[in-house]
Amino acid sequence: MREGAIVSDTKGLIIVHTGNGKGKTTAALGMALRAWGQGLRVLIVQFIKGNWKYGELKAAEALGPNFVIRQMGEGFVKDAKGEAAADHQSAANEAFEMAKAEIISGNWNLIILDEINYAVKFGLVSVEDVIALLDQKPEQMHVVLTGRDARDEIIEKADLVTEMREIKHPYKKGIKAQKGIEF
Amino acid sequence: MREGAIVSDTKGLIIVHTGNGKGKTTAALGMALRAWGQGLRVLIVQFIKGNWKYGELKAAEALGPNFVIRQMGEGFVKDAKGEAAADHQSAANEAFEMAKAEIISGNWNLIILDEINYAVKFGLVSVEDVIALLDQKPEQMHVVLTGRDARDEIIEKADLVTEMREIKHPYKKGIKAQKGIEF
pLDDT at A7 over 80: no
Cβ–Cβ below 8 Å for A142 and B181: yes
Longest dimension (CA), chain B: 52
Spell out which residues of chain A touch residue B43, defining contact as CB-CB under 8 Å. Answer: none
* B178 confidence band (pLDDT: 50, 70, 90): confident
Calculate how close chain A gets to B80, using CA atoms only, in Å.
29
Reply yes or no on domain A14-173 having CATH 3.40.50.300: yes
Q: What is the number of residues in chain A?
A: 183
**CB nearest B162 (choices: A31, A161, A164):** A164
B134/B136 Cα distance (integer angstroms): 5
Report how many helices (DSSP H) and strands (DSSP E) chain A contains, helices first.
Answer: 6, 6
A118/B115 Cα distance (integer angstroms): 31
pLDDT at A4 over 50: no
What count of CB pairs under 8 Å joins A to B?
A: 213
Contact predicate A118/A148, CB 8 Å: yes
pLDDT at A153 over 70: yes
More confident residue, B75 or B108: B108
Work out the average pLDDT over B33-54.
Answer: 88
Percent of chain A with pLDDT over 70: 89
* A93 confidence band (pLDDT: 50, 70, 90): very high
What is the tens place of the pLDDT at every residue in B141-163?
999 999 999 999 999 999 999 99
pLDDT at B3 over 60: no
Contacts of B87 (CB under 8 A, 6+ apart): B74, B80
Strand order in the sheet with A42-46: A67-71, A42-46, A110-114, A142-146, A14-18, A160-168, B160-168, B14-18, B142-146, B110-114, B42-46, B67-71
* A52 confidence band (pLDDT: 50, 70, 90): low
pLDDT at B129 over 70: yes
Residue B80 buriedness (CB in 10 A; 0-12 / 13-18 / 19+): middle
pLDDT at B5 over 70: no
pLDDT at A75 over 80: no
Spell out which residues of chain A touch residue B142, defining contact as CB-CB under 8 Å. Answer: 178, 180-181
Calculate how close chain B gets to A135, using CA atoms only, in Å.
18
Cβ–Cβ below 8 Å for B34 and A59: yes
The pLDDT score that the predictor gives to residue B52 is: 64
A116/A96 Cα distance (integer angstroms): 9
From 3.40.50.11400, 2.40.110.10, 3.40.50.10680, 3.40.50.300, which CATH number describes the B15-173 domain? 3.40.50.300
pLDDT at B8 over 60: no
**CB nearest A27 (choices: B7, B27, B170):** B27
* A62 confidence band (pLDDT: 50, 70, 90): very high
Domain ranges of chain B: 15-173
The pLDDT score that the predictor gives to residue B50 is: 64
Cβ–Cβ below 8 Å for B178 and A30: no
Cβ–Cβ below 8 Å for A160 and B142: no
Contact predicate B178/B34, CB 8 Å: no
Spell out which residues of chain A touch residue B10, defining contact as CB-CB under 8 Å. Answer: 178-179
Contact predicate B10/A176, CB 8 Å: no
The pLDDT score that the predictor gives to residue A5 is: 44
Q: How are the residues of chain A apportioned to helix, strand and coil, as percentages rounded to the nearest 5?
A: 40, 20, 40
Calculate how close chain A gets to B81, using CA atoms only, in Å.
33
Cβ–Cβ below 8 Å for A35 and B180: yes
A149/A90 Cα distance (integer angstroms): 22
